Structure 1
Amino acid sequence: MKKTLLFLLYFVAVQAAFCQVRGSDSKENLQKSFLAYNKLIIDQEFEKSLDYMLPEFFEIVPRSQMVTLMNQIYQNPDLDFEMGEPTIGEVGDIRQIEGKYYSEISYSYDIKMRFNNMEKSDDEEQNRMNQNLLRLALEKTFGPGNVVYDEESTDYNIHSIKNAYGISENGNSDWKFVVVEKDQKFILEKLLPKELTQNL
């Protein structure tokens, strides 16, 4: 009896340790996938980057339209746009909900934007007001204090802080991603379980 009890305790301890290692591996796989996804975007390999997005998203916005939109951002002659690699802040616990696994990721990255062909006035005060209005519009998207205008280079330097969800069928591999944009809650509600979107 004692041997059976000891074996049972040993088996439970080994299983717990295995689960912890698997959880750690799963988070590592999630982070690697997320960085690979972002690298493809930075390298403008948009078609490949979409393999990391939820297939259900393309029922809302067709895949070909997404590629066109991404190309328009990066190839717009009126905008110089440069995005840095993301820094992952925190990866939440992997939770099983309705047969899929979810983990929230907080991350940040830096963007440089330069608006070409902006109307310049002979009135310096008018130019400064236009720059401030544009900075305020960008701050509405990226948050107060996260946008700095560089008068010398005429770049807007932006620090973007975001959240995303990683979604996997098995909780370990083949991670897909959805970026959390609060003003697109109606889209997120079609892609994520209610308990993940109700507090947005």
Structure 2
Amino acid sequence: MKARFIAALFILISLFSLAQTKANADDQAIRKSMVYFVNTIKYKKLDQTVDSIYPKFFTVVKKDQFTQMLNMTYNNPFVKIDVLDMKFISVGKPELVEGENFSISSYYLKLKADVSSMSEEMKKSISEMLTKKYGKGSVEYLDKKGAYIINAPMKMVAISEDKKTWKVVFADKEYKSQLTTVLPKKILDKL
């Protein structure tokens, strides 16, 4: 009787360990894809950034339009934006919906926006925009450097058919209406 109990306990522990290993592998693959995406922006490899995006997103926003927007944002001579850091808050367990796996992740992106070449009026306008978008506590102005430091809370959905190669799409609430034809309702309802 004691031997059966120990054997059953050993089997349960083994199954639990196997499940944890699989969950950790999914988590690591998702994190790796998201870090890759952020690094393509950080190092201004914007064509690779576009390649990291979930292809169905380009049914809503044209690929060349998205590339142009990235270039205007990250290669702008008036506002130089640099990615300083990325910190994960959470990586959601992948959910299988209609043959694809979806994982909702939250993270902080620390950005530096150099506005030193702008007029005071433009700096004020940028400050108002950043504060409205990210909240007063998330935006700091460094007067001596003429730059804003932004701790931007972000959400992203990672999508994969095979749980090995993950593509991403921004999932902040402001994009939710655009994503109705891109993401399944079950996933949209969780954003």
How does the TM-score come out when normalised to structure 2?
A: 0.84
8 Å CA contact 1:80–1:116 kept in 2: the answer is no
In structure 2, the residue matched to 1:123 is none
- Give the letter aligned to residue 189 of structure 1: T
Q: Does 1:53 align with 2:45?
A: no
Partner of 2:161: 169
Give the AA of the match of 1:173. K
Deviation at 1:87, TM superposition (A): 1.2
Check 1:69–1:134 CA distance in 2 against 1; reply closer, same or farther (3 A cut): closer
What is the root-mean-square deviation in Å for CA atoms of aligned residues?
A: 2.7
1:141 maps to 133
SS of the residue 2:107 aligns to: strand
2:137 is paired with a residue of what secondary structure? coil
Alpha-carbon separation, structure 1, partners of 2:89 and 2:158: 14
- Specify the alignment match of 1:182 in structure 2: 173
Aligned counterpart for 2:184 among listed residues 160, 184, 193: 193
The CA deviation at 1:159 is 1.0
Does the 8 Å contact 1:42/1:85 carry over to 2?
no
> In terms of Rg, which structure is larger?
1
Shift of 1:10: 7.2
Q: Which runs of 5+ in 1 are unaligned?
A: 1-5, 121-126
TM superposition score normalised by structure 1: 0.81
In the alignment, the residues of structure 1 paired with residue 31 and residue 61 of structure 2 have an alpha-carbon distance, to the nearest angstrom, of 25
Among residues 126, 134, 142, which one is paired with 1:150 in the alignment? 142
Aligned residues: 189
Partner secondary structure for residue 114 of structure 2:
strand
SS in 2 for 1:86: strand
Task: Give the SS at the match of 2:151.
Answer: strand
* C-alpha distance in 2 between matches for 1:117 and 1:17: 56
Task: Note if contact 2:57-2:179 (Cα within 8 Å) is conserved in structure 1.
Answer: no
Q: CA deviation at 1:74?
A: 2.1
* Residue aligning to 2:67: 67
TM-superposed deviation, 1:100: 1.5
* 1:1-200 matches, cutoff 5 A: 14-120=14-120, 131-170=123-162, 172-198=163-189, 200=191
One-letter amino acid matched to 1:64: D
Q: Percent identity?
A: 24
d(CA) in 2 for partners of 1:154, 1:9: 62
- In structure 2, stretches of 5+ residues that fail to align are 1-5
Q: Residue 81 of structure 1 contacts residue 113 of structure 1 at CA under 8 Å; is this kept in 2?
A: yes
Deviations along 1:172-199, one digit per CA (max 9) or x if unpaired, are: 2111111112122221212212122236
Moved more, 24-33 or 108-117: 108-117
Q: CA deviation at 1:20?
A: 2.6
